[in-house]
Amino acid sequence: MKPGGRITAIAAVLLLVCLAISAVAVHHLDRIRSQTEWDEVLYVPSPKVVKRLSLGYDGLLADVYWTRVVQYFGTKHHEGARDYQLLAPLLQITTVLDPQLTVAYEFGANFLAPQPPYGAGMAQQAIELVEYGIRNNPNDWKLYYNLGFIYYTELKDYGEAADAFARGARVPDAHPSLRVMAAEMAQHAGELQMAQMMWTTAYQSSKDPNVRANAIAHLRALQVDEDVTNLEKLISVYHQKAGQLPSNFFDLQAAGLLRALPLDPLGQPYKLTADGQVEVRDPDDFPFITKGLPSGYVAPPPRFRPSDLGSS
């Protein structure tokens, strides 16, 4: 005699049905709760209280909060949001719980400081965050780099940037570019090469896919700006020589000013407008560019290209 076959069958079927329903319900709950969950961060009385309440498991809790930081940013970015209000409190809690979580400071430098819609627009808070990180990790060159990075890119305070890089260069095993940037900041701050070095270092020194994608986008933007500037110089030379604007780039080629058709960093040819302006074919592909934009163009909220995010 085996135990009751009928009750076994009923229980098994019921179990599977319940499993399916519960999975659906969880999905549903995710959607309902998604916004409110983030707001709950603001209910945390203070990071210090959280640390005390974590009963010694602050490292683990920091990792949990870090996961939330990345998730928050990723969700917002994917939705094309224009603000990241909760980034600051999330990062604050994470770093109070674990002051040695250096990726948090890097994230803050890259996404807390820039103006919306590229970041939370809290440059001063970002600086405080990174200084806090430096106090707790004085031998990590990356943090000095992050500090200088904020001063350079957002505050345009080249003096402070140079200072930060100089401090960082003194740390053992510092990236060689720090010394170079510290030295050259005074004279070449506004130049293309400085900016390229800055973003290249950002790309090389980070393992975070968001930070790297952001760096690549900036490097492309720098390239486009440079390309457009150069092309427009050539156009004015042509104008002077030929007395009229070129109708397309072949004219410039024929005049010996260009060797080949100019392509943007993504391989698309540039456009030459009737009034002699150079534009990128697809401006949405290039967040951060300041030149080559069609008139009246309104940039959408920035998004990273999936191929950029995949590179690590």
The site for other proteins (CB under 8 A) is made up of 1-4, 7-8, 11-12, 14-15, 18-19, 21-23, 25-26, 28-30, 32-33, 36-37, 40, 43-44, 64, 67-68, 70-71, 74
Pick between residue 68 and residue 305 the one whose CB is nearest to other proteins.
68
Tokens, residue 96: 């109070």
Pick between residue 18 and residue 237 the one whose CB is nearest to other proteins.
18
Closest distance to other proteins from the beta carbon of 39 (Å): 8
Closest distance to other proteins from the beta carbon of 111 (Å): 16
What's 92's DSSP letter? H
Pick between residue 60 and residue 261 the one whose CB is nearest to other proteins.
60
Closest distance to other proteins from the beta carbon of 7 (Å): 5
Pick between residue 1 and residue 260 the one whose CB is nearest to other proteins.
1
Burial of 85 (0-12, 13-18, 19+ CB in 10 A): middle
Output the CA torsion 302→82→133→62 (10° steps): -100
Who contacts 225 (Cβ-Cβ below 8 Å, separation ≥6)? Answer: 192, 289, 290, 291, 292
Its sign, for the CA torsion 38, 58, 173, 310, is negative
Closest distance to other proteins from the beta carbon of 24 (Å): 9
Q: How far is CA 12 from CA 1, 5, 18, 64, 228, in A?
A: 19, 11, 10, 36, 68
Pick between residue 71 and residue 273 the one whose CB is nearest to other proteins.
71
Closest distance to other proteins from the beta carbon of 174 (Å): 30
8 A C-beta contact, residue 96 and residue 47: yes
What secondary structure does DSSP assign to 123-148, as a single string?
A: HHHHHHHHHHHHHH-TT-HHHHHHHH
Burial of 18 (0-12, 13-18, 19+ CB in 10 A): exposed
8 A C-beta contact, residue 221 and residue 287: yes
Who contacts 81 (Cβ-Cβ below 8 Å, separation ≥6)? Answer: 117, 301
Pick between residue 25 and residue 186 the one whose CB is nearest to other proteins.
25
Closest distance to other proteins from the beta carbon of 119 (Å): 20
Closest distance to other proteins from the beta carbon of 44 (Å): 8
What's 267's DSSP letter? S
Pick between residue 2 and residue 207 the one whose CB is nearest to other proteins.
2
Closest distance to other proteins from the beta carbon of 199 (Å): 25
User: Distance (Å, rounded) from C-alpha 268 to C-alpha 211?
Assistant: 25
User: Distance (Å, rounded) from C-alpha 304 to C-alpha 209?
Assistant: 10
